[in-house]
Amino acid sequence: MTVLATAAADRPVKADAIAAGQEIPLQFLLKILAELRLARLVNSRRGQHGGFGLARPAAEITVADVIRAVEGPLADVHGMPPEELTYVGSATALREVWIATRVALRDVLEVVTIADIAAGDLPATVERELSRPGADRRR
């Protein structure tokens, strides 16, 4: 998506160029591009001068939009939305943990746009999260 965001609007980008430049297997990329096209995030043009482009401005496409198009809902648990889960006994509060996790994901993924990433200029709320001690370490 960032490759498409930085391309000239009137010049579609060929899938093989994206695949080579991003070191992604072409067939895998084509599957993702098809899902993005179905979600109306990218459009395609056939022919010698064809390729792919963003279906709307990069500043209007969030990372959450892309993930939902390719992977589905942000925080399903075993294929179910967290609010539909039921836990019993000492695990009752787990439902709220999953809902809070979804909220936390949205707080980042719904504010970062493809334009932000392409420009290397993340929103202040995300930069604050990155500055938290240990943010760059896996636990």
Instruction: Specify the pLDDT at position 77.
Output: 87
Domain boundaries in the chain?
A: 2-130
* CATH (one of 1.10.10.10, 1.10.3760.10, 3.60.21.10, 3.30.450.260) for 2-130: 1.10.10.10
Angle at 72 between CA 71 and CA 75, to 5 degrees: 100
Could you give the CA distance from residue 91 to residue 117 in angstroms, rounded to a whole number?
38
Is the pTM higher than 0.75?
yes
Which residue did the predictor score with more confidence, 11 or 111?
111
Q: What is the mean pLDDT of residues 18-35?
A: 96
- Predicted confidence (pLDDT) at residue 79 exceeds the cutoff of 90: no
User: Comparing C-alpha atoms, which of 46, 15, 47 is closest to residue 31?
Assistant: 15
Render pLDDT for 46-69 as a digit per residue (tens, 0 to 9): 988 889 999 999 999 999 999 999
- Predicted confidence (pLDDT) at residue 118 exceeds the cutoff of 90: yes
**Token pair belonging to 8:** 């000239």
Residues 6+ apart with CB under 8 A from 43: 37, 52, 53, 54, 55
**E strands within the chain?**
42-45, 51-54
- CA torsion 44-45-47-50 (nearest 10°) is -80
Instruction: Specify the pLDDT at position 9.
Output: 79
Instruction: Specify the pLDDT at position 73.
Output: 87
CB-count exposure of residue 66 (10 Å: 0-12, 13-18, 19+)? buried
